[in-house]
Amino acid sequence: MQREYEFQRKRLVRDLRAHGVRDERVLAAMLAVPRHRFVKQHLKQQAYGDFALPIEAGQTISQPYVVARMTEMLKLSPEHTVLEVGTGSGYQTAVLAQLARWVYSLELVAELAQMAGARLRDLGIGNVKIQTFDGTVGWSECAPFDRILVTAGAPEAPKPLLSQLAVGGLMVVPVGDRASQRLITYRRLRGGGTQRNEGEGVVFVPLLGRHGWQER
């Protein structure tokens, strides 16, 4: 079965390349991380399809193309520290950990944070720290961050996250309404300003928290 998963993962990476993902380091990270380890048992045979899948707590593991594209947009280097907002299953976290020096990840749902941490430990990924907290507030004691990735749809870029971004740093966040968003990249400029670039359309679960959406 492991060989079958490896074959499916190689096919997924070929498809990602064909769909426009160009960063070879990102593609290598997608090849290295076993997505089937991050989904429910009865969904493992679907793990390498290019679509989102349900996980615990009513959340989802993102479509592999979206994971690869958002990671590519971050333009990561091995010396970077990354803040991830929304650990979820831990899959995106694992991909980031292949490319950055250290990943700090915030998850609002304690159950998800605990399960993601266990998966990452089982895979021997040690350059990640996960905390259960409102990710829209950020992680000020570990700031500034070279890169910030938000993995849920926000009504706007949370201001605390922008303030925790290092000068010259990049933040990628899906911005829009609850139904659909666009990937927005923010670059922190000297003097405190930001440069904003709009990317492709996506659909994420809502970013809940003080500087995101409120629970209905």
Residues serving a catalytic function are: 62
Helix residue ranges per DSSP H, the chain: 2-18, 24-32, 64-74, 91-99, 110-122, 159-163
The pLDDT of residue 123 is above 90: yes
Does residue 133 have a pLDDT over 80? yes
> Average pLDDT, stretch 104-111?
97
Residue 103 has pLDDT above 80, yes or no: yes
Q: Which residues, including other chains, have CB under 8 Å from residue 51's CB and lie 6 or more apart?
A: 63
- Average pLDDT of the chain? 96
pLDDT of residue 192: 81
Residue type for position 61: I
Question: Which tokens go with 202?
Answer: 């996506």
Mean pLDDT of the region 91-120: 98
Helix (H) or strand (E) holding 104: strand 102-107
In this predicted structure, what is the pLDDT of residue 184? 98
Please choose, from the candidates 82, 79, 108, the residue with its C-alpha nearest in 3D space to the C-alpha of residue 94: 82
Say what the pLDDT of residue 215 is.
Answer: 80
Structural domains in the chain?
2-202 (3.40.50.150)
> Is the pLDDT score of 195 beyond 90?
yes
Provide the pLDDT for residue 1.
74
Closest among 158, 143, 139 to 208, alpha carbons compared: 158
Per-residue confidence band for 2, with pLDDT thresholds at 50, 70 and 90: confident
